Amino acid sequence: MKITGIELRRIALPLVAPFRTSFGTETARDVLLVRVVTPEAEGWGECVAMNRPLYSPEYTDGAAEAMRRFLVPALPAHADAQAAGRALARFKGHRMAKAALETAILDAQLRARRESLGSYLGATRERVPCGVSVGIMDSVPELLDAVEGYVAEGYVRIKLKIEPGWDLEPVRAVRERFGPDLLLQVDANAAYTLADAPRLAGLDAFGLLLIEQPLANDDIVQHAALARRISTPICLDESIESAEHAAAAITLGACSIINVKPGRIGGYLEARRVHDLARAHGVALWCGGMLETGVGRAANVALAALPGFTLPGDTSASRRYFATDITPPFELRDGHLDVPAGPGIGVDPVPEILDEVTTSTEWITR
Q: Which of 92, 98, 159, 161 is catalytic?
A: 161
Query: Do 175 and 184 touch, CB atoms closer than 8 A?
Result: yes
Query: Do 222 and 194 touch, CB atoms closer than 8 A?
Result: yes
274 Rama sector, left if φ>0, alpha if ψ -120 to 50, beta otherwise: alpha
Is the C-alpha dihedral spanning 197, 308, 265, 336 positive or negative? negative
Q: Which of 2, 98, 159, 261 is catalytic?
A: 261
**Which of 326, 217, 333 lies closest to 315 in space, CA to CA?**
333
| Whole-angstrom distance, CA of residue 5 vs CA of residue 112 | 16
Query: Do 290 and 275 touch, CB atoms closer than 8 A?
Result: no
Lateral strand order in the sheet of 284-287: 131-134, 157-161, 183-187, 211-212, 234-236, 257-260, 284-287
Q: Is 161 noted as a catalytic residue in this protein?
A: yes
Burial of 220 (0-12, 13-18, 19+ CB in 10 A): buried
Query: Do 330 and 301 touch, CB atoms closer than 8 A?
Result: yes
Query: Do 25 and 18 touch, CB atoms closer than 8 A?
Result: yes
Query: Do 276 and 121 touch, CB atoms closer than 8 A?
Result: no
DSSP state of 319: G
Which H or E run includes 264?
Answer: helix 262-265
For 143, 185, 187, 323, 342, the CA distances from 166, given in Å and listed in that order, are 11, 14, 11, 28, 43
DSSP state of 12: E
Query: Which residue pairs, CB below 8 angstroms and at least 24 apart, start in 110-113?
Result: 110/43, 110/343, 110/344, 111/40, 111/41, 111/42, 111/43, 111/343, 111/344, 112/1, 112/38, 112/40, 112/41, 113/343
Give the catalytic positions in this structure. 161, 261
